[in-house]
Amino acid sequence: MGASNNKIVLLSLLLVVAVTRSSAQLRQNFYSQTCPNVEQLVRSAVAAKFQQTFVTAPATLRLFFHDCFVRGCDASVLIQSPINRAEKDHPDDISLAGDGFDTVIKAKAAVDSNPQCRNKVSCADILALATRDVVNLAGGPFYKVELGRRDGRISTMASVQRQLPQPDNNLNQLISLFNSHGLSQTDLVALSGGHTLGFSHCGKFSRRVYNFSPRNRIDPSLNLQYAFQLRQMCPIGVDPRIAINMDPVTPQKFDNQYFKNLQQGKGLFTSDQVLFTDARTKSTVNLFASNEAAFNTAFINAITKLGRVGVLTGNQGEIRIDCTRPN
């Protein structure tokens, strides 16, 4: 009995070691010898882009999330396919704003303009740094970023299928998806708080305000006044691509307003509002709504864990010369 128990413990330890080995090779000072000023180079390029358009912030944050949830944080979402069959061509990624891609490309150019850094820093790391910078520039916390990711060589449309959260997901579906990447229920709520920035499109939520169910035209978990506002902004027959702010109160500030909105029934997606209507996550929403510091701490922890998902390190992958195509 003792021997078989020991085997189980050993197997469990080996599994943990295998999962954490790649992320253990990430470290904050990874480029201290090869490109010591990488953070300043990225920051200045991101700040310049942010000055041009605020969309830089939500677009880059969303790009990072979509990259990490498909094949891990390997910048595979940036790859262009000559026949439009890459990750970015999947229906779930087609709405990724061009400003996010442009931010990474401009930051990469800034890094490579320094002879010491040229082709030394991965696109995956540049995206991770740019994400931290846009969060901070939009009023959110500043946090240290672990580095040392390598770029993936593969990007397929098929790999996106069923890998990203959907606007109509219930909590079980969300928890299962996040757990599959080693992310907890608290991480799920904290990362959903990224919806404090950015916008969606009428087509993504119109069912909630027009034909939710045979009994209820409007989703009963939706604030009625807010539902009528959404109907005004998204009348029947309108272009489904019309943009609507995710946070109707402070759409251009990274803050905890998203959670206060959920308390009032003003979550744009079912997958937002369920965080408050389901008892399993309601207390976390209430905590973050009343305590912005608690949200910021949880967000930093969650996005750091997200940045370790499926990373390529060491001699895996490559350092892409052009972020849009494998070497």
- Catalytic residue IDs: 66
Residue with tokens 């510091």, as numbered in its chain:
293
7: CB partners within 8 A, 6+ apart: none
Q: Beta strand pairing status for 199-201 and 243-245? A: antiparallel
> What tokens were used for 76?
């595979």
Q: Which of 274, 259, 320 is nearest to 120 (CA)?
A: 320
Q: Which of 74, 87, 71, 56 is nearest to 124 (CA)?
A: 74
| Burial category of 14 from C-beta neighbours within 10 Å (exposed 0-12, middle 13-18, buried 19 and up) | exposed
